[in-house]
């Protein structure tokens, strides 16, 4: 029989089973019992930090903290995200819509961001780089899509079915059961005979989060390197350079009728 050695045993995980089955020894052993339990990964593990790990990470942490704690702007109010409409989702959708200028030479007709992609509240007061990363942690990027009027109407129905998302340039009335009751874009009803531009995220452009109409776009422009987080960061810095704190409010972009 060849020597069969298990150099490390991971108790309570499926890895132990896989490792035992994968050994090159003859089938002289079999698994008789596997036990496991859930271990909460929380602040209790900080009670006895590993000094060697802390020493290894210290120079990197110092560098990262110097970047993440930099104050890049200020907000005049706290902003949360929620359906059907919220201050923060309005602001992010506005930034997307304006950012389409780099692809179109003008703002898009509509901006769209999913509420689920905004992961934290924007606080009142000084804003740091870390705040922006907490709010927009994903690498989602700007995509500017061209839709005919019928497809745009379908997109607005998708938004109504979700109970609302972050929008700019449109106004919707939706029912409590997710039906689109009324819609305007640029202050006018949707014209099925013309085309419209929608500034959104590559994630949504693929039809995710129920945005089934977006993959039907007749044209798609995704400027390289235009992440939503980067675009929002640039917007905050521009506002700061002009001496303006961030402001946004609920203004009737999406109204739910009981």
181/172 Cα distance (integer angstroms):
8
CATH number assigned to the domain covering 71-257: 3.90.780.10
**pLDDT at residue 177 tops 70:** yes
Average pLDDT, the chain: 91
Phi-psi region of 86 (alpha: psi -120 to 50; beta: other; left: phi over 0): beta
Residue-level pLDDT at 212: 98
107/97 Cα distance (integer angstroms):
6
What residue spans define the domains of the chain? 71-257
pLDDT bucket at 41, cuts 50 / 70 / 90: confident
**pLDDT at residue 240 tops 90:** yes
Task: Output the six-digit token pair for 44.
Answer: 């209790």
What are 125's strand-pairing partners? Answer: 75
237/196 Cα distance (integer angstroms):
30
Percent of the chain with pLDDT over 90: 80
Return the closest-CA partner of residue 243 out of 88, 127, 74: 74
Range scoring the smallest mean pLDDT among 8-12, 96-100, 175-179, 240-244: 8-12
- 193 neighbors 149 (Cβ within 8 angstroms): yes
- 121 neighbors 221 (Cβ within 8 angstroms): no
Beta strand pairing status for 142-148 and 254-257? unpaired
The pLDDT of 42-71, averaged and rounded, is 90
Task: Output the six-digit token pair for 147.
Answer: 């839709």
Count of alpha carbons within 13 Å of 254, Cβ hemisphere only?
28
Phi–psi pair at 79, nearest 5 degrees:
-130, 125
Per-residue pLDDT of 131-168, as tens digits, reads: 999 999 999 999 999 999 999 999 999 999 999 999 99
46/67 Cα distance (integer angstroms):
24
196/146 Cα distance (integer angstroms):
6
Strands (E) located in 16-109: 71-75
- 87 neighbors 249 (Cβ within 8 angstroms): yes
**pLDDT at residue 61 tops 60:** yes
How many degrees, rounded to 5, is the angle at CA 205 between CA 128 and CA 168?
A: 60
Residue-level pLDDT at 258: 81
Per-residue pLDDT of 118-128, as tens digits, reads: 999 999 999 99
Give the dihedral of Cα atoms 71, 74, 79, 85; nearest 10 deg: -110
Note the pTM of the prediction, 2 decimals. 0.80
Residue-level pLDDT at 50: 87
Percent of the chain with pLDDT over 70: 90
**pLDDT at residue 200 tops 90:** yes
pLDDT bucket at 2, cuts 50 / 70 / 90: very low
**pLDDT at residue 57 tops 80:** yes
Per-residue pLDDT of 66-112, as tens digits, reads: 999 999 999 999 999 999 999 999 999 999 999 999 999 999 999 99
Whole-Å CA distances, 88 to 42, 84, 195: 29, 12, 28
């Amino acid at each position: 029989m060849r020597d069969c050695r298990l150099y490390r045993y991971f108790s309570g995980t499926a890895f132990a089973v896989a490792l035992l089955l994968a050994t090159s020894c003859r089938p002289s052993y079999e698994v008789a019992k596997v036990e496991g339990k859930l271990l909460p990964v929380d602040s209790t593990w900080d009670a006895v930090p590993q000094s060697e790990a802390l020493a290894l990470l210290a120079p990197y942490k110092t560098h990262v903290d110097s970047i993440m704690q930099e104050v890049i702007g200020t907000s005049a109010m706290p902003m949360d995200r929620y359906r059907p409409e919220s201050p923060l989702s309005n602001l992010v959708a506005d930034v997307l819509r304006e950012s389409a200028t780099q692809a179109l030479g003008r703002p898009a007709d509509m901006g769209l961001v999913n509420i689920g992609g905004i992961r934290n509240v924007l606080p009142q007061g000084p804003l740091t780089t870390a705040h922006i990363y907490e709010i927009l942690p994903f690498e989602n990027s700007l995509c500017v899509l061209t839709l005919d009027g019928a497809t745009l109407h379908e997109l607005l129905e998708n938004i109504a079915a979700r109970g609302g998302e972050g929008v700019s340039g449109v106004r919707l009335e939706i029912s409590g059961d997710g039906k689109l009751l009324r819609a305007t874009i640029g202050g006018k009803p949707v014209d099925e005979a013309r085309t419209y531009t929608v500034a959104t995220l590559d994630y949504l452009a693929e039809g995710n989060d129920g945005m089934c109409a977006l993959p039907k776009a007749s044209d798609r422009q995704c400027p390289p390197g235009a992440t939503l987080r980067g675009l929002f960061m640039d917007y905050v810095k521009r506002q700061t350079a002009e001496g303006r704190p961030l402001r946004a409010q609920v203004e009737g972009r999406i109204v739910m009728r009981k």
